[in-house]
Structure 1
Amino acid sequence: MKIETDSGANLESVDWTQVDHVLLDMDGTLLDLAFDNDFWGHRIHEKYAAIHRISVDQAVAQFEPLFQRVAGTLSWYSTDFWSQQYGYNITDHSRDYATGIRWLPFAKEFLHALRHRGVRSTIVTNAHPDIVNLKNEVTGITDLVDRTISSHTVGYAKESPKFWIALRADLKFSPKSTLFFDDSPSVLSAAVDFGIERSIAICHPDTTRPKRIHVSSWAIDNFEHLTASLSSKGQR
């Protein structure tokens, strides 16, 4: 079976007997990126603007060069770094909007299906541990996987080859029998370069925005079909 949609999702059904480890991004893969896009794209600037009595547009313009400069590094994802830059506690502020944290369609069911079939699962995220803890408080997400690893504890962002070297040394996974899911093209490219050929793009990470068109060799809109394939008779 081949899955095709107008977003470029093209993943053929998986032979789960050939998979022993699934690596998963958190935001935009398992959890709806709508929360992050709203918070990081608007709420942090809104609060800064209110504190300094400037417009939100002025706040965005002030910080845009810094965001561009640290893109793809740990600083981009660090609540400690941005708390210093904005002059208030970013994690505390994010709690004010925690009701917006929610699962993507079929993501929770997919994790349950992986566990039921005995497939090892690990969340690998660029999110700061403070944000991981907040999202776990709301969703209980870390209880549904074998491990959760933040790139901040590894010392390199997922965009860096050094992240994948360190991750493999820790998890002892085989790239050939591993699936990796993420919504970031740059992270997916880094994983493919490392040798995880089945690095699968998520085409609809934010349910409030249109689906993305991915040119990846492997892509899905959501986990509906893969959850069904895990639950099918004859699978491991």
Structure 2
Amino acid sequence: MIDWRAIDTVLLDMDGTLLDLHFDSHFWLEHLPRRYVELHRLDQATQEALRARIIREQGTLNWYSLAYWSRELGVDVVALKREVQHLIGLRSDALDFLRWLKAAHPRVVLATNADRASLELKLPLTGLEAYLDAIVSSADFGVPKEEQAFWFALQEVEPFDPQRTLFIDDNASVLESAREFGIRHLLGIKQPDSRRPEKELEEFIALDRFASILPDNLPSAAGEARAAGEEKEKGAHG
């Protein structure tokens, strides 16, 4: 499915791709509306209205901003997230995939719509950072991945060849945006949320497990170049 010799850069989404989306689904659609009503002593109808309001922001930078929701709702969203942080976890074979990437040596970049507050919560709990060469949040650019401006901004801070880049994301709108930018290798995720049914992406191949795209001990092009450089350096000092 993927010719790893043709891949120099791997761009990875976080929530729903590396991490189980169950935490976010539960928090935004269940825990936050319930706690908002409890804290402000409001009725059940308000809880339903808030859930609808959250969904209306989908695809915008506000949708992903903890600061925005804290300000709008008058609650500490980060503190409320910590109440259910035990639900934060990696998807089934994400760690094995990350370990393989680290050994194969393409450049691995986390490209996420999660803001820095979300990253500060999730990274220490999941250990993702140890496997990443760079972490980029759309909040840093002021535009979500759904917009072309994100990809131009990303390439400014993290140069990559779109033709030699693999991008994996569970969001079809984001994948469409990446395709428009010219990223050649695009994959979706079949079951971002382990507690919800699988979904099909009409225009993209959706992965069930990362193992399905891993070859048997085949190094990437970037890995071969790096390994050759290391051997050359050893020879120079031998």
TM-score using structure 1 length:
0.89
Cross-structure match for 1:112: 99
Among 65, 69, 78, the residue aligned to 1:82: 69
CA offset at residue 177 of structure 1? 0.3
Q: Note if 1:19 corresponds to 2:19.
A: no
Offset, 1:129:
0.6
Question: What does residue 225 of structure 2 align with?
Answer: none
- Distance across 2 between alignment mates of 1:81 and 1:133: 16
2:23 to 31, 35, 43: 35
Structure label with greater radius of gyration: 2
Secondary structure of 2:14 counterpart? coil
Deviations 1:152-193 (A, max 9, x none): 012211011000011112111000000000001111110001
* Percent of aligned pairs with the same amino acid: 35
Alignment of structure 1 residues 1-236 onto 2, 5 Å: 12=1, 14-62=2-50, 64-65=52-53, 67-68=55-56, 70-227=57-214, 229=215, 232-236=216-220
The C-alpha deviation readout for 1:183-224, integer Å capped at 9, x for no partner, is: 011111100010013221111101111111111233211212
Over the aligned positions, Cα root-mean-square deviation in angstroms equals: 1.5
Q: Distance in 2 between matches of 1:222 and 1:122?
A: 19
Decide whether aligned partners of structure 1 residues 35 and 62 sit closer, same or farther in structure 2, where only a CA change above 3 A counts: closer
CA contact (8 A) 2:29 2:51 kept: no
Task: Indicate if the aligned counterparts of 1:23 and 1:122 stay in contact, CA closer than 8 A.
Answer: yes
> Structure 2: how far apart are the matches of 1:217 and 1:159?
16
Q: TM-score scaled by structure 2?
A: 0.88
Which 4+ stretches in 1 moved above 6 angstroms?
Answer: none
After superposition, the C-alpha distances for 1:76-114 in whole angstroms (9 at most, x for unaligned) are 110000001111110111011111000001111111101
Secondary structure class of the residue paired with 1:23: strand
Q: Using the alignment, how far apart are the partners of 1:25 and 1:193 within structure 2?
A: 17
| Deviation readout 1:20-76 (Å, 9 max, x if unpaired) | 0000000000000000000011111011111232344422314624641x3322111
Number of matched pairs: 220
For 1:98 and 1:25, locate their aligned partners in 2 and report how far apart those are by CA, in whole Å: 19
Given that 2:59 and 2:144 are in contact with CA atoms closer than 8 Å, whether structure 1 keeps it comes out as yes
Distance of 2:182 and 2:110 partners within structure 1: 18
Q: Is the 8 A contact 1:110 1:226 kept in 2?
A: no
Relative to structure 1, is the Cα distance of residues 143 and 173 closer, same or farther in structure 2, using a 3 angstrom cutoff?
Answer: same
Query: Does the Cα contact within 8 Å between 2:65 and 2:114 map onto a contact in 1?
Result: yes
Code of the aligned partner of 1:74: L
